[in-house]
Structure 1
């Protein structure tokens, strides 16, 4: 486990662990928030509040070249427009790069990561990394950094999707924590920040379901506590594609926040709430929150823009 005091999760004034539930909404600013993002925000917020827990917001912006101009501002304005109430200051991952570098150095000292000089062209179409550079002992500078995985099955029980398993060595191979261009990989940043922010529960879209075993593996290597996961079904457009920035999903119209909030709760199959100010609607939704009503599938089919 990390011994650096700056890499220690929060405690309350008595030095005891925080509340039993800490959740988060962690959008990436590669475009403005869309309806699929709203579903995740609503579900994560209601689930945390229904458990009398804390809810935090984190902007996952380590992939700096992909940040879409104005998207961070739209995310922050959306939090205000829908009257979500985070329990701590919003953090930005691009301000925390030194923390991720410290974790990579820790893993390096333990012999758990190595430098990789393989390019995409060299790897070709094979999506399973064969460990080409694992024993070359290359210098870390100006190379990708991969973490070693073992030949073992990792399983977790998702609160919606049931049991999910993966053998990382057989299905993926050693995976990248830092790219050759210096960009910190999502897998590392999310694991470190979930630990440092004291997360206990992760509620997010089913498109991230297959990332979970990698994050569990990293957490095990670092001695972090286990998390509870709930992967929500994805809202799909009329072409059967998930709503995303890449598929040109429409930005949330913040002037229609109450109506959009009502639609998001309907998509989650929650009991009806009265059309009102978002804060009042959220309070009603929290009082009625029931994850058993959320479709236990990976896709929501309907008319979602």
Structure 2
């Protein structure tokens, strides 16, 4: 089986040490396995993505000694693929339009018991289903077939049946096991490793109706990453442990869209001296700054523990 990894930065700022660790780890794993390393620019945020940041990212990666095995994919050129996936989900009756702001969601969740901690999922507060319960999208959109293009769309998790949560895997003893989940080779939810399983009820309670298309983007991170991983033939997703909770969303979308589920390797996060994980705003740890100060790629490897 081919071994294909990828690195998928957003060109909205400079690469920092955390990005370097993730890219180097994915690249090293691919080379060790005799596989391929691919690059993808996750530039669906048109307002914040900038060509000069993309050029800087490519330059930094090349300086680190990273070689990608195909032309970089750009999400800004992939809207037709996202539209097809959204149309499939819409025609299956799984999506509905949502007009709630984050403030609306927090108000709806806190209304019954003020002061109680809000249920939180990978995207923040678990959506309480306000628009799902308020709107009948078949009547709102009379023919029931035309997907609205100027609205935020959520996937109604409660519509997902057991048939979408069955995946057969052969076992060493010649038998088989049917499950909803994925293989984790790094740090999964709660530090778990191996086969990570979940049920539709888990998704309802812990994730809720998640966004698959944002009004101002035409897609979402969750949808685009699933569609693009399949298109690039990614077999092993290597990314930070902060995204491990979102993997259940991605596996669910893979099931619904009949896409393959890769193995996942969620790695440790690179943190600052106070234990806080690095973010784009941490310019003090930007690779360009280290380069300007005379650091070598070997220095960066040592700094991130490689």
Give the TM-score taking structure 1 as reference length. 0.75
Task: Please tell me whether residue 215 in structure 1 is matched to residue 250 in structure 2.
Answer: yes
Q: Residues 200 and 265 (structure 1 numbering): CA distance in 2 closer, same or farther, change over 3 Å?
A: farther
Aligned partner of 1:235 in structure 2 is 270
Task: Report deviation, 1:141.
Answer: 3.7
**Greater Cα offset, 231-240 or 251-260:** 251-260
Aligned-partner Cα distance in 2 for 1:34–1:141: 35
2:131 to 130, 133, 147: 133
Q: Kindly report which structure 2 residues correspond to 1:57-76, keeping only aligned pairs within 5 A, or say none.
A: 57-67=39-49, 70-76=52-58
Aligned partner of 1:171 in structure 2 is 206
Aligned-partner Cα distance in 2 for 1:249–1:221: 42
* Structure 2 residues without counterparts, runs of 5 or longer: 110-124, 142-147, 166-179
Task: Please tell me whether residue 93 in structure 1 is matched to residue 69 in structure 2.
Answer: no
Aligned partner of 1:280 in structure 2 is none
Task: Report deviation, 1:81.
Answer: 1.4
Q: Residues 196 and 129 (structure 1 numbering): CA distance in 2 closer, same or farther, change over 3 Å?
A: same
Aligned-partner Cα distance in 2 for 1:173–1:94: 27
2:21 to 23, 34, 39: 39
Task: Please tell me whether residue 28 in structure 1 is matched to residue 6 in structure 2.
Answer: no
- Give aligned pairs, total: 251
Q: Specify the SS of the correspondent of 2:285.
A: coil
Task: Check whether the contact 1:32–1:70 (CA below 8 A) recurs between aligned residues.
Answer: no
Aligned partner of 2:144 in structure 1 is none
Task: Check whether the contact 2:44–2:217 (CA below 8 A) recurs between aligned residues.
Answer: no
Q: Residues 180 and 231 (structure 1 numbering): CA distance in 2 closer, same or farther, change over 3 Å?
A: same
Task: Check whether the contact 2:11–2:50 (CA below 8 A) recurs between aligned residues.
Answer: yes
Q: Specify the SS of the correspondent of 2:287.
A: coil
Aligned partner of 2:184 in structure 1 is 158
Task: Check whether the contact 1:63–1:183 (CA below 8 A) recurs between aligned residues.
Answer: no
The Cα offsets for residues 75-133 of structure 1, whole Å up to 9 and x where unpaired, read as 11112212321111011111111211121011111112221222323222531212233
Aligned partner of 1:278 in structure 2 is none
Aligned partner of 1:81 in structure 2 is 63
Aligned partner of 1:206 in structure 2 is 241
Aligned-partner Cα distance in 2 for 1:141–1:49: 42
Task: Report deviation, 1:200.
Answer: 0.5
Q: CA RMSD in A?
A: 2.4
Aligned partner of 1:116 in structure 2 is 98
Aligned partner of 2:171 in structure 1 is none
Give the TM-score taking structure 2 as reference length. 0.75
Aligned partner of 1:284 in structure 2 is none
Task: Report deviation, 1:250.
Answer: 2.5
Aligned partner of 1:147 in structure 2 is 155
Task: Check whether the contact 1:241–1:247 (CA below 8 A) recurs between aligned residues.
Answer: no
Task: Please tell me whether residue 267 in structure 1 is matched to residue 304 in structure 2.
Answer: yes
* Structure 1 residues without counterparts, runs of 5 or longer: 1-18, 271-305
Aligned-partner Cα distance in 2 for 1:27–1:76: 10
The Cα offsets for residues 229-258 of structure 1, whole Å up to 9 and x where unpaired, read as 111100101122111113445320345787
Aligned-partner Cα distance in 2 for 1:46–1:256: 25
